[in-house]
Structure 1
Amino acid sequence: MNGKVIVVTGALGALGRIVVESALARGARVAGVDHAQAQVTQTSARLEVGGVDLADPVQARRAIETAAVHFGRLDALVNIAGAFTFETIADGDLQSWQRMYALNVLTALNASRAALPHLATSSAGRIVNIGAMGALQAGSGMGPYAASKSGVHRLTEALAAEWKGKVTVNAVLPSTIDTPANRASMPKADFAKWVAPQELAEVILFLASDAASAVTGALIPVSGRV
């Protein structure tokens, strides 16, 4: 990853922070984009762009262009920005479906569309999306989330086919990630069986690396120790 320029969306979240720090430790230059306001950091190796609604294509393009101008190029995009909700279909709200689509699908779509012209000029353009094991077969209460993450899977496959030979596009499909929020919502779970953020970051950064040049259109399960 030495010298690669990587954009990470959702960079201030539990997984995003780990991916950013891991990429920096490997010698990458990283632009972190997040909806939350961030303390402005601009160095030769790191840029933080906060207050960005990636569901808005104009804001997404502006954030990506800011990163491209700052570093002079882009080599990889890691789409971590997203959200989760748990509610049954009969008792739920239509707005939950719309929110999940906006935060999980549109964020990845808009960031990818903005980044692709830059990635196509790289010798190793990469997009890595975050899907979900739970989208392969939705259980009770998982409808809105699983439907949106299934959309991410199909987006990944379509982009991979459309940009084959120019940019690789893959997705990781984690089961439950071991984050403070998940521990708080499921305090009786066996956390040892969950996917550690660092473990997931290793797979993400492999897919963003030169070593993954022959991998595209893949939906890679990262299922922990269940």
Structure 2
Amino acid sequence: MRDVSISGASGQGKVVVITGALGALGKVVAEEALSRGARVAGIDHAASQLAATAKQVAFGRIDLTDAAQAKKAVDAAAAHFGAIDALINIAGGFTFETIADGDSKTWQLMYALNVETALNASRAAIPHLLNSPAARIVNIGAMGALQAGSGMGPYGASKAGVHKPTESLAAELKGRITVNAVLPSVIDTAANRASMPKADPAKWVAPTELADVILFLVSDAASAVTGALLPVNGPL
């Protein structure tokens, strides 16, 4: 069986950069990555009080919609650990708004939060990733981009704007960096439970379940997988 851990052959963990690392999903992915032997650099718009160590570092107050800030943070992560082996683009946002009653500013916001953040972080990371023998980029798409229901137009369109660059970048970088996206349905977070109190969270995707799929794509076992849009629909 191929190795699904994230520890390198030298004994040092692979360096994984996670955007949105202080959010509900980002925290879980970071914790799981660390538990599997990775070294983790977190980047987030929120402030971070995490002290830098040999295993973990975090850069807060970073606006990833600004290409210069994205590059500065990614370069700092590479400088701290000496390399980058994987980028996981979790930073993003969600809004529920119908098209007829909505505003074009919402569409612009969703594009900025979900598409520009991933593009800016990826462009910044690629020069570093090209030095890794097993480089990975994993994006967060959405099932709602495949079949968008009422009120899901702006969000679904922005996540479709993640899917196509994932496929294109995978083709551009084939043989050098694998590029894939996971497509969750509803993720079981405190915010989603609060906004949908009558829904059954047992049908949703647990953050740990989604983290398992993301980190599989980062592992050596997924070396032959690139350009995939992988649905993660939950257990029921």
After TM superposition, list the pairs within 5 Å mapping 1:179-218 onto structure 2: 179-218=189-228
Counterpart for residue 130 of structure 1:
140
2:30 aligns with one of 2, 13, 20: 20
Matches of 2:83 and 2:47, distance apart in 1: 24
What SS does the aligned partner of 1:85 have? coil
Counterpart for residue 149 of structure 1:
159
> Are 2:125 and 1:115 aligned?
yes
Question: By how many angstroms is 1:225 displaced?
Answer: 3.0
Counterpart for residue 10 of structure 2:
none
1:174 aligns with one of 152, 166, 184: 184
Matches of 1:10 and 1:96, distance apart in 2: 20
What SS does the aligned partner of 1:42 have? coil
Aligned length: 226
Counterpart for residue 158 of structure 1:
168
Query: Which runs of 5 or more structure 1 residues have no equivalent in the other structure?
Result: none
Q: Deviations over 1:131-159 (max 9, x none)?
A: 00010011110000000000000010010
> Are 2:114 and 1:104 aligned?
yes
Given residue 59 of structure 2, which amino acid in structure 1 is its aligned partner? V
Question: By how many angstroms is 1:10 displaced?
Answer: 0.3
Question: By how many angstroms is 1:41 displaced?
Answer: 1.9
Matches of 1:57 and 1:41, distance apart in 2: 25
TM-score normalised by L of structure 1: 0.99
TM-score normalised by L of structure 2: 0.95
> Are 2:63 and 1:53 aligned?
yes
2:17 aligns with one of 7, 29, 35: 7
Question: By how many angstroms is 1:121 displaced?
Answer: 0.9
Percent identity of equivalent pairs:
72
Given residue 175 of structure 2, which amino acid in structure 1 is its aligned partner? G
2:99 aligns with one of 89, 101, 116: 89
Matches of 1:12 and 1:22, distance apart in 2: 14
Matches of 1:143 and 1:111, distance apart in 2: 25
Given residue 68 of structure 2, which amino acid in structure 1 is its aligned partner? V
Matches of 1:67 and 1:58, distance apart in 2: 14
Query: Which runs of 5 or more structure 2 residues have no equivalent in the other structure?
Result: 1-5, 8-12
1:42 aligns with one of 45, 52, 65: 52
- The runs of 4+ residues in structure 1 deviating greater than 6 Å are none
Matches of 2:54 and 2:235, distance apart in 1: 39
Q: Deviations over 1:35-87 (max 9, x none)?
A: 00111420000001000000100000000000000000000000000000001
Given residue 142 of structure 1, which amino acid in structure 2 is its aligned partner? M
Q: Deviations over 1:171-219 (max 9, x none)?
A: 0000000000000000010110000000000000000111100000000
Matches of 1:198 and 1:225, distance apart in 2: 12
Matches of 2:39 and 2:166, distance apart in 1: 24
